[in-house]
Amino acid sequence: IAVQGIHDKCRGRNPEPAVLLALFVLATAVSGCGNSGSSSADSQSGSSATSENSASTEDTASTDGEVPTISLMVVCGTTPPDADAVAEKLSEITREKIGCNVEFITMEIGNVAQQLNLLLSGGDDTLDVFMAGISVPYSTIVNNGQALSLDTLMEPYAEEVKTALGEKVYESGRVNGELYGIGRLLDQASTTCYNLRRDIAEEFGYKNGDKVDLAELTELFGKVREKYPDTPLIGPMNGVPSIGDSRIDSLGNKLGVLDNYGQDTTVTNYYESAGYEELVGYFKQWKEMGCYMADILNVTDAPIDYIPSGKAFGCFASHFSAEMNGIWSSQNFGTDIASLQIYEDAVAITPGAYECINPATKNPEAAAALIYLMATDPDVENLLINGIEGQHYQVLEDNTATYVDGKDISTTGWCLGYSWTALNSTISIPFEYPADYYDRMLAANKNAQQSKAFGCQFDLTGVSDAVSACTNVVNQYENALSGGAVEDFDATLAQFQQGLRDAGIDEIVAAKQEQLDAFLAG
């Protein structure tokens, strides 16, 4: 019902009475102090929030009545030329609803870690609202003291946000019992896929969304290689050739995992599991068959560069739906793709990204109110995701969006295709996806096997040296093995496993187990 209500609002239907009530309370607060940092989920919380925020906004607003400006992190491929125009359209909404303007701090995906570190270090207040978990782990941000506690700030909006995102997603942002981030609602259960050029897949009897196991995939590789011996089958995705494993909950970094689709409660060393050793055996076969792009670890091309040009036929990926992944890949790779699901099921794991507030912000109440709108307001999220209607996208008869006539990904002016960086993409208009795309995603989340560790935020500060050392070992061996870049797979795997033991992986497994036990007991 809640999701349907959100979709109704997205389609232009009248808002629910609770929304009108919240706006009425907000209007009262604004008339009293010139602007407001929050709205209300109900009359009781709205009353207390109004009195608190009135004092706050008197401090943050300038004497001439100007409203504060909240700076928001926006992730993109390249800096979009129309960022200021979209920010102004967004500000038209936020000035009316929460009494603030919004400006964008755009971050190109390859520079997020560096930019975020610079902006959050040393008390810099340039950035107010940001998403941790994109290049910089949420736990790192919290442990560094770079995220403001949100329990009090989000109290006026908590129930509405829980309804929009799901209570477990909302509560998953707690570290040691305190809320520091609001979890992103996205595909919680991503299945491992193999992307293959669609014409090749169909030639050998496969279509987009089909399921294969590793043995069947290897058989397919052999048939394709026999007919097309000069074209490799495996190229890199996001810079690495690695195949994921949707049978486990990696608990953040695979240095200690839950097996059996997250249904086990004993943390184990993934790199010594039967499942990983089986994978390494397939890596060896694929190398012997000539499936990998030459010098794959040094290939800088993305799939859009090498698949249409015929340098390789495919790559590995992950998505909540292999079928939807094929649609997404076809849009983004520049050629039709069939995506094949490798494992039978997927495990729903703790969200990987969280909307946070910089402790140095001068306007924490307004920043919290903006997060509230990003979670619940379709107009706000649609602007952030799809840009300005008529300028960056047009709405089709089936209530899906596509490029305006004459525009494409390189000329549109906005960072279309980055819905995965939004707090709640499910309330936006699906862009070049089926009309029921987000309904399918929510259903996949609901139907997946939810990990026993869902919502557990692991604090590995006490074993940080071991994490650092083991991460270095993983970086040394994992991609080399999965990319077929070693000569003796058995010997290399043994060295990898011993290197992890020497670096302290058993300490990490023990620390995760202790925290998981406490989480489950609570």
Q: What is the pLDDT of residues 133-187, one digit of tens each?
A: 998 889 889 989 999 999 999 999 999 999 999 999 999 999 888 999 999 999 8
Helix, strand, coil shares of the chain, percent, nearest 5, are: 50, 15, 40
Percentage of residues in the chain with pLDDT exceeding 90?
A: 70
Query: What average pLDDT is seen over the chain?
Result: 86
| Cβ(249)–Cβ(257) below 8 Å | yes
Please state, in angstroms and rounded to a whole number, the distance separating the CA atoms of residues 103 and 215: 51
**pLDDT tier for residue 65 given thresholds of 50, 70 and 90:** low
Distances, alpha carbon 415 to alpha carbons 33, 41, 105, 178, 353, in Å = 36, 32, 13, 33, 19
N-terminal to C-terminal alpha carbon distance within the chain? 30
Per-residue tokens: 174: 């707690």
Query: Residue 66: is its pLDDT beyond 80?
Result: yes
Per-residue tokens: 255: 């240095």
Residue 77: its pLDDT value, please? Answer: 84
| Cβ(207)–Cβ(323) below 8 Å | no
Q: What is the pLDDT of residues 310-331, one digit of tens each?
A: 999 999 998 899 999 999 899 8
Residue 210: its pLDDT value, please? Answer: 96
**pLDDT tier for residue 409 given thresholds of 50, 70 and 90:** confident
Looking at 235-377, list the stretches that DSSP marks H as alpha helix, in order from N- to C-terminal side.
274-289, 303-306, 322-333, 364-376
Residue 345: its pLDDT value, please? Answer: 80
Q: What is the pLDDT of residues 356-408, one digit of tens each?
A: 999 999 999 999 999 999 999 999 999 999 999 999 999 999 999 999 999 98
Residue 302: its pLDDT value, please? Answer: 87
* Residue 242 or residue 308, greater confidence: 308
Residue 280: its pLDDT value, please? Answer: 96
Query: Residue 349: is its pLDDT beyond 80?
Result: yes
Q: What is the pLDDT of residues 482-511, one digit of tens each?
A: 999 999 999 999 999 999 999 999 999 999
Ramachandran sector of residue 123 (left: φ over 0; alpha: ψ -120 to 50; beta: rest): left
Is residue 64 classed exposed, middle or buried when 0-12, 13-18 and 19+ CB atoms within 10 A define those classes?
exposed
Single-letter code of the amino acid located at 385: I
CA angle 357, 360, 366 (to 5 degrees): 50
Residue 176: its pLDDT value, please? Answer: 85
Query: Residue 218: is its pLDDT beyond 90?
Result: yes
| Cβ(497)–Cβ(272) below 8 Å | yes
Please state, in angstroms and rounded to a whole number, the distance separating the CA atoms of residues 255 and 253: 5
Query: Residue 39: is its pLDDT beyond 70?
Result: no
Of the candidates 98, 129, 127, 74, the one whose C-alpha atom is nearest the C-alpha of residue 383 is: 74
Query: Residue 352: is its pLDDT beyond 60?
Result: yes
* Residue 30 or residue 284, greater confidence: 284
| Cβ(489)–Cβ(238) below 8 Å | no
Per-residue tokens: 132: 């941790």
Averaged pLDDT, 455-463: 90
Claim: this prediction has a pTM higher than 0.85: no
Query: Residue 36: is its pLDDT beyond 80?
Result: no
